[in-house]
Structures are given as C-alpha cells and as structure tokens.
Amino acid sequence: MPLPQLDLDTDGRPAHRARRIRSEITNVGLSRVAVQLPQGVEPVDDIMVRAGRGVLERKMFTKVYGLRDIPTLAEGEQMEDLLVAAGREALAGGTADLVLYGHTMLMGETDLCGEFPDRLRARLGLTDSRFYGLSHINCASVLRCVELARSYLARPGAGPDERVLVLGGDQGSVADDARVIAGTTVSGDCAAAVLVHAPAAAARPRYRYLAGAGGRDVRFHRSIRMTAEENALFAKVCSMQVVDTLHRALDKVGLTVESLDWVLPHLNNKMFWRTFSSDAGVPRDRICMDLIPERGHSFGADALMAMEHADRMGRLHAGDLCALIAIGQGAYFQAMIIEVLEDQ
C-alpha cells in the first residue's frame, strides 16, 4: 500500500496560518499522551538539603530556575505501577506489536530489575509483543524511541494496523544525590506513554509526526562525572546545540522556528529556556514551561508531559506545529516536529 505523502496544502486553515510543509519521510501518527504522577510531592529545597547542596545553589534552583516541587513515589508505590498505568491508558484497550521503553537510569538502580520486561508486558496484556529498552542516550531516549517506532512502522512489509507503545520515565527518588544534577535540575518520578500508529492506520491519531533530528556532542561524554570546566562549557554551548538540532528537524520539512506555535520542552529549568528563547528567536510565551515549578524534570518523559499538559489546557489546536525537545547528559539532543490534528 503506498504511503501517504506529507506534501500538503493547508485547506481549512485561516490564510495567515497557511503553511506549506515539505516532507519525504513517513508520517506516522501519535496518540494523546498518557501521564501518570505518583501520589507524593517533595519540595525541591528539601531534596537539595538532603543532597548536601550549598545555600546559593539551592536559592538559584528555586528562585531563578523556577523549581519548586517534585513528584515523588509515596510509601509503597512502585515505579512499575506508574509505567503500567500510563501504558494501559495510551493503549486504550488496544494492543501494540512492539514496546519501547526509553529510560535514563540503569534498571538495576531501581525496583524494575528482575524480569521487569516480562512483568510489564503481562500487565499490559502484551505478552506476545516484543519489548526493548533504550537508555544509553539518557534523557533523549524517549523521543528517540518515537524515531525508532517510526522506522519500525516504515519497514518493508509493515502492516497498516501495527502500533508501537513508547514508554518513558524513571525513578528519580532512588537516591537524593543522584536526582540532583549539579547546576541544572532535580529529577522526579513520573511516567508517560504514547502510542505510535502506522501511517496508513485506520485510527485517526491526535498528532502527526512531521520530522525529527538527533545530535550528540562527545566532549561531554563523562555525563554526571564531568569536571567543573566541562560543566561550564556544556552550560555555555548546550542551548546552541539544541537550536542546531531543532533547525535540522525543521529543515527536513521546510519549516523555520517562526512556523512553530509551541515548543514543548525538556523541563530542566526556566533559565535554560530563557537562553534558548534568545538563541533560537522563539518568544518565551511560546515555550510551554508551566510544569517546571510543580513537576520539575522527569527524565526523558518531559516533552511528552509538556505536550499532554498543553493539550489538556486547551492550548493546542488543529494545525498547530509543535517542537518537542529533549536533552540527554553525555551529551545527546533530540527534536521532534509534530502537527496537531483535529480532535475526534
């Protein structure tokens, strides 16, 4: 069956929003994002005190970075339960041929180890589906999973009804010193899931994938073990690396940053996105930072959570173009351009 081409006109849109999108790639669809939050919440400052961080850094995180609270697993709650609940909601009673779990923490560091993939598949009702984890690119892993899902669904012989379930999120609360990334952010325990549909699927998705791009900068391969000098250099160049990755994604479909209605960001901190706004020429009010004070950073799930929030708040409308952005320590970058489709 021939794949639908994305060269399209913008029928039905007001003239001032008319855009012409060029694409030679396979445009899969994405479901609404399912997000699961734990029952607990902790003040960022309490976590930083326990992690032994200095007064000035604590003040910087809360006042300048805008980090206030972090969702945290309550006593007896399990990260696996959040992932299952998010996955079930995204599946909406349906199935998936493949499950891709993008995570940052090593499985052995959480309570997910020990037959976790088998347990998860069984609880999702996907016993016969294949399951793969993607972790080596840290917090860029979840958006990269969507890219891999797109490739999988575009393979020769793929059926129109095949679907891929993408899961994201980690247990940040596994250790206080590990959940505070020096000079950057504090990580929480949230899970997100999205179902990726084949291009010719009968079901109409909420979003259409338009393009994506990834990048890496090996100068920062030491990740959380970088020296002070490497951290300083990373802070200096990170925003421009994100801008470059975003431009490469937009270029693939003949778009520019001016075309974007929303940037749905990595929720690391507000100061980073103020810098990005200046470097990219994207107005701050088009970067959806609402969740930073109340949820902070949830590893690779951030951009999906920002999209779910923006949609739930009624900010996304059919025809809107959005850029989802993720940044992984190490350093890895991922940008994904989507179009919002008519709500069903």
Partner 1 sequence: MNRSEIVAHLRIALSAVLNREVGELTPAARLFEDLALDSTSVIELLMSLEDTIGLEIDPDDLGPEVFQTIGSLTEYIEASFNRVSAV
Footprint of partner 1 (CB under 8 A): 56-57, 59-60, 63-64, 66, 183, 231-232, 235-236, 239, 270-271, 274-275, 277-279
Q: Quick one: 119 or 219, whose CB is closer to partner 1?
A: 219
Q: Quick one: tokens of 6?
A: 């994305």
In the complex, what is the shortest distance from the CB of residue 228 to partner 1, in angstroms, rounded to a whole number? 9
Write down the residue that tokens 């960022």 correspond to: 44
In the complex, what is the shortest distance from the CB of residue 60 to partner 1, in angstroms, rounded to a whole number? 5
Q: Quick one: 4 or 281, whose CB is closer to partner 1?
A: 281
How far is Cα 28 from Cα 94, in angstroms, rounded to an integer? 17
Q: Quick one: 203 or 235, whose CB is closer to partner 1?
A: 235
- Give me the amino acid identity at 147: E
Beta carbons within 8 Å of 74's beta carbon, 6+ residues apart: 38, 39, 40
Write down the residue that tokens 């909420």 correspond to: 206
CA angle 144, 147, 148 (to 5 degrees): 90
In the complex, what is the shortest distance from the CB of residue 284 to partner 1, in angstroms, rounded to a whole number? 8
Q: Quick one: 155 or 225, whose CB is closer to partner 1?
A: 225
How far is Cα 131 from Cα 343, in angstroms, rounded to an integer? 30
Q: Quick one: 57 or 161, whose CB is closer to partner 1?
A: 57
In the complex, what is the shortest distance from the CB of residue 59 to partner 1, in angstroms, rounded to a whole number? 5
Q: Quick one: 187 or 277, whose CB is closer to partner 1?
A: 277
In the complex, what is the shortest distance from the CB of residue 229 to partner 1, in angstroms, rounded to a whole number? 9
How far is Cα 269 from Cα 149, in angstroms, rounded to an integer? 29
For residues 82 and 174, the answer to whether their CB atoms sit within 8 Å is no
How far is Cα 165 from Cα 58, in angstroms, rounded to an integer? 38
Element holding 324 (H helix, E strand): strand 321-328
Q: Quick one: tokens of 208?
A: 């259409």
For residues 170 and 71, the answer to whether their CB atoms sit within 8 Å is no
Q: Quick one: 207 or 234, whose CB is closer to partner 1?
A: 234
In the complex, what is the shortest distance from the CB of residue 309 to partner 1, in angstroms, rounded to a whole number? 20
In the complex, what is the shortest distance from the CB of residue 72 to partner 1, in angstroms, rounded to a whole number? 24
For residues 319 and 294, the answer to whether their CB atoms sit within 8 Å is no
